[in-house]
Amino acid sequence: MRILGIDYGSRRIGLALGDTDSRIASPWGVLPNEGIELIIDRLSDMVQRDDIEKFVVGIPKPLRKADAENPQVRETKEFIEALRDAGFVVDTENEALTSKLAQRQAEEAGDWRKRDDLAAAAILQSWLDRKKKGGGSRK
């Protein structure tokens, strides 16, 4: 099954592609966040063109309860609900530390612009690894 990993941001959306056979996630690009309707249109095209069956969206899991519903968390949850309302199959993955990992990888590659799709790849790889170990879906 082909899966699209998504690192949702208010300005940019990182994408990664992976599948359950190879269990490898690869950075796949970045979309500008031009509003949910346009994003859903672009993702619909990708689903049809590339036979994508599921999305895995990173969601922040704040360490402090006071941060549990910060604006980024709310915006990401709204995005996930919009995807589901559009008929997409969506799972979530904790994106804790993926941004820092992606930033370090982008610095090592000498290209900070890659951090969003590298973060999406880290999110998707975490999900694939958890599935390999028998972990269930997260809603």
Alpha-carbon torsion (21, 52, 50, 94), positive or negative: negative
Instruction: List 25's β-bridge partners, or say none.
Output: 18
Q: Is 27 in contact with 121 (CB distance < 8 Å)?
A: yes
Q: Where are the domains of the chain?
A: 2-132
One digit per residue, pLDDT tens: the chain, 139 residues? Answer: 999 999 999 999 999 999 999 999 999 999 999 999 999 999 999 999 999 999 999 998 766 666 667 888 899 999 999 999 999 999 999 887 666 665 665 566 665 556 688 899 999 999 999 988 776 555 5
Domain 2-132: state its class: alpha beta
Backbone torsions φ then ψ of 21, nearest 5 degrees: -80, -55
- The one-letter amino acid code at 41 reads D
pLDDT of residue 95: 86
In this structure, the dihedral spanned by the alpha carbons of residues 91, 85, 26 and 130, taken in order and rounded to 10 degrees, is 0
The secondary element (H helix, E strand) that includes residue 9 is none
pLDDT of residue 40: 97
Other C-beta atoms closer than 10 Å to the C-beta of 47 total 19
Name the pTM for this structure: 0.84
Closest of 61, 90, 86 to residue 73, by C-alpha = 61
Radius of gyration of the chain (CA): 14
